[in-house]
């Protein structure tokens, strides 16, 4: 089976650690105390998510998100 790659979003938590989501796989979410732990956890969550889809005979979503970093206008930041 060819490898699939998904974009994930790491959200640092105030109490420490991260929450991570996979936009292409709705409801696929995990967390961890360190970046490395969180990365391992989301890899496992993705694998289980895909396994569940296959067991149900459902298609595996393709990654289609384009994530771009956009700079906010300085004038709006300075006046905030």
How far apart CA 21 and CA 59 sit, in angstroms, is 19
Backbone angles phi, psi at 5, to 5 degrees: -125, 140
Q: Is residue 16 part of a domain?
A: yes
Q: What three-state secondary structure class fits 2?
A: coil
Q: Is residue 3 part of a domain?
A: no
Q: Are 41 and 30 in contact (CB under 8 A)?
A: yes
Whole-number Cα distances in Å, 51 to 25, 32, 56, 57, 59: 12, 22, 9, 10, 11
Q: Is residue 1 part of a domain?
A: no
- For residue range 5-62, list pLDDT tens digits in order: 999 999 999 999 999 999 999 999 999 999 999 999 999 999 999 999 999 999 999 9
Q: Is residue 4 part of a domain?
A: no
Q: What is the pTM of this model?
A: 0.83
Domain count, the chain: 1
Range of 33's domain?
9-78
CATH number at residue 23: 3.30.160.250
Q: Is residue 29 part of a domain?
A: yes
Q: Is residue 71 part of a domain?
A: yes
């Amino acid at each position: 089976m060819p490898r699939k790659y998904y974009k994930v979003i790491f959200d640092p938590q105030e109490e420490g650690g991260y929450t991570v989501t996979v936009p292409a796989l709705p409801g696929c979410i995990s967390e961890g105390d360190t970046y490395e732990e969180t990365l391992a956890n989301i890899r496992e969550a993705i694998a289980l998510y895909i396994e569940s889809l296959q067991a149900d005979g459902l298609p595996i979503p393709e990654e289609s998100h384009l994530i771009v970093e956009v700079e906010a206008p300085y004038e709006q930041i300075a006046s905030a």
